């Protein structure tokens, strides 16, 4: 199977790249399906699962809390969710050509030799994009929005460090890093599709 993973700075249009790229290549696009799958199997609420995955296992949970029954239960539950998430990612990756945005899929699916894209943009363009698409809640001042963007990126970096002893967004971990500042995503899709295609054809087996 051909797997494309997309890591991205918040507000850079990574999700749009993922959707359009999947469309262009006729691949399946996986996003919310991953949390939905976990929620279904574990008989939990999807939003709860998504929040738990996004926040990761809290490394700084106070010891006295971790020692309580409730604390241990919560920690174990979070680990179970992550384990289930990895299982689902691997099942999806084994069953169909697909594009997966975020979720440290590039690391978790390393054995499947994914084509790894990192999408980024300068802050001004990310702010503009967030405002245009109301990706975070509306009515935030530009300053508040900037703070929010940085917070989300920091969380993603932290989440990634859980899986890999390396920083997030370091170019050597990706095959292609794409700056979307000032260009509409739709204009770069044909080239990204061609690039991925060529990579799968000539390079994946290496």
Q: Which residues bind a second copy (CB under 8 A)?
A: 118, 120, 122, 169, 171-172, 174-179, 181-184, 187-188, 190-192, 194-195, 198-199, 201-203, 206
Nearer to a second copy, 71 or 169 (CB): 169
Spell out the SS3 assignment of the chain: CCEEEEEECCCCCHHHHHHHHHHHHCCEEECHHHHHHHHHHHCCCHHHHHHHHHHCCCCCCCHHHHCCHHHHHHHHHHHHHHHHHHHHHHHHHHHCCEEEECCCHHHHCHHHCCEEEEEECCHHHHHHHHHHHCCCCCCCCHHHHHHHHHHHHHHHHHHHHHHCCCCCCCHHHCCEEEECCCCCHHHCHHHHHHHHHHHHHHCCCC
Nearer to a second copy, 66 or 190 (CB): 190
Nearer to a second copy, 83 or 203 (CB): 203
Shortest Cβ 163–a second copy spacing (Å): 19
Shortest Cβ 186–a second copy spacing (Å): 9
Shortest Cβ 6–a second copy spacing (Å): 15
Nearer to a second copy, 51 or 171 (CB): 171
Nearer to a second copy, 165 or 206 (CB): 206
Shortest Cβ 5–a second copy spacing (Å): 14
């Amino acid at each position: 199977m051909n797997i494309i993973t997309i890591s991205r700075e918040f507000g850079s249009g990574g999700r749009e790249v993922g959707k359009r790229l999947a469309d262009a290549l006729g691949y399946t696009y996986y996003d919310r399906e991953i949390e939905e799958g976990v929620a279904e199997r574990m008989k939990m609420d999807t939003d709860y699962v998504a929040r738990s995955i996004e926040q990761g296992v809290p490394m700084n949970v106070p010891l006295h809390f971790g020692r309580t029954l409730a604390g241990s239960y919560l920690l174990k539950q979070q680990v179970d969710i992550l384990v289930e998430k990895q299982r689902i990612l691997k099942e999806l990756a084994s069953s169909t050509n697909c594009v997966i945005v975020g979720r440290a899929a590039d690391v978790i699916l390393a054995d499947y030799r994914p084509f790894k894209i990192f999408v980024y943009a300068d802050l001004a363009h990310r702010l503009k994009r967030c405002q245009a698409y109301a990706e975070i809640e509306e009515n935030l001042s530009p300053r508040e929005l900037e703070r929010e963007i940085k917070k989300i990126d920091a969380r993603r970096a932290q989440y990634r460090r859980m899986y890999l002893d390396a920083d997030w967004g370091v170019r050597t971990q990706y095959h292609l890093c794409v700056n979307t500042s000032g260009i509409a995503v739709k204009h770069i899709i044909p080239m990204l599709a061609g690039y991925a295609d060529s990579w799968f054809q000539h390079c994946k087996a290496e």
